[in-house]
Amino acid sequence: MLIGEVARRSGVSARMLRHYDRLGLVRPTGRTSGGYREYAETDLRRILHVEMLRSLGLSLEQTREALDDPATAPAQLVAELAAQTRARIAVEEELLDRLEQVRAGDPQGWTDVLRTTELLRSVASADPNRRARAVLVSATEAAGSGGGQPAPDALAGAVLTEEETNVAGTLRWALARGGDRAVHRLSAGLASTDPDVRRRAAEALAEIGTERADQVLRTGLADAEAPVRDRAALTLGGRGEAAALPGLLEMVLAGRTDVEAAEVLGQLAADEPRRAEILAAVSDLLHDAGTPPAARSRLTQALGDVPGAGTQRLLAELTGDPQPDVARIATYLRSR
């Protein structure tokens, strides 16, 4: 077969076949009397093998070794190629994420693109002071130009990974200035498999405080991790949402930020019908034999934040409680 026929049957261009010949990768078996390359069926099979190996990402040199060196270990070579491919995909995904964050900022000119790119670079810095300064400068520039928030996706992405407490607070402050613009990205964070990411998303949503942010935050009430549930319950309960009640009671029972949870229960109890619901729930827990003594003490203390005659009746009953500290707390609360 002449080179044109081989090119047609293999799908490899005549130019590439000549290149393979020069490299010694696939040499034609013979030459015609006129000096043209003449390929045999075995040559065609080798060309097809070369193309299949190259489709896996092998270089021409690696392909030659794989075909000519019996000592070449295919499993090791394929594993190396897989690792290289994963690394390349990670780089491409990072680039894609950066492009999406720039796009989400709705740049109106290349100056906006450059500003967002600089912000992304700065919030990825190992220096927490540089990260905080970058956010403050960007927020100040946005305010000066009449904008509400620089690169919302960039800031949201940064807040979901930020471990430094002060920097995280600065990021949340900057996000809250933009209202709902970062809620979609934070919603994805609240669905993360990483509990720390979910906690940071809940904290950021709590500071945004819009109806849309609170709607997303409600999903945190059923989160598997206590810090996420607690942040959602304290925030939503403080805004008068009855759905937070079970979470707040859980916090008091477990002794997790129970003083703050009790204060929020008191805020919810400002609504009289809801107050009755709270008192009924607390009474049930106090009379449940499975409630630990320390939890009963905290529940009794929480009644100090709940106004009304119903509370006084329950406290009067508790003054005779067989658990001494519960009786003392109830007596003290009634005398205030």
User: Is residue 39 included in any domain, yes or no?
Assistant: yes
Q: What is the predicted pLDDT for the residue at 217?
A: 97
User: Is residue 19 included in any domain, yes or no?
Assistant: yes
User: Is residue 85 included in any domain, yes or no?
Assistant: no
Distance of alpha carbon 249 from the chain centroid: 28
User: Is residue 184 included in any domain, yes or no?
Assistant: no
Q: What is the predicted pLDDT for the residue at 148?
A: 45
* CA separation for the pair 103, 32 (Å, rounded): 60
DSSP code string of 245-297? HHHHHHHHHHTSSHHHHHHHHHHHTTSHHHHHHHHHHHHHHHT-TTS-HHHHH
Residues of the chain under the 50 pLDDT cut: 143-148
Q: What is the predicted pLDDT for the residue at 84?
A: 82
Q: Which residues of 226-258 are buried (b: 16+ CB within 10 A; e: fewer)?
A: bbbbbbbbbbbbbbebeebbebbbbbbbbeebb
User: Is residue 64 included in any domain, yes or no?
Assistant: yes
Q: What is the predicted pLDDT for the residue at 34?
A: 84
Q: What is the CATH number of the domain that holds 40?
A: 1.10.1660.10
Q: What is the predicted pLDDT for the residue at 264?
A: 96
Contact residues for 267 (Cβ-Cβ < 8 A; gap 6+): 237, 238, 240
The three-state secondary structure class of 37 is strand
Q: What is the predicted pLDDT for the residue at 140?
A: 58
* CA separation for the pair 49, 152 (Å, rounded): 50
Q: Which of 42, 72, 102 is the last residue of a domain?
A: 72
Domain that holds residue 248: 241-336
User: Is residue 222 included in any domain, yes or no?
Assistant: no
Q: Which of 72, 97, 117 is the last residue of a domain?
A: 72
Q: How many residues in total does the chain contain?
A: 336
Q: Which of 56, 72, 88 is the last residue of a domain?
A: 72
Helices 258-268, 226-238: crossing angle, 10 deg rounding: 30
- pTM of structure: 0.65
For residue 2, the 8-state DSSP code is B
* CA separation for the pair 187, 168 (Å, rounded): 17
- Indicate the number of domains in the chain: 2
User: Is residue 98 included in any domain, yes or no?
Assistant: no
Q: What is the predicted pLDDT for the residue at 101?
A: 66
Q: What is the predicted pLDDT for the residue at 144?
A: 47
User: Is residue 245 included in any domain, yes or no?
Assistant: yes
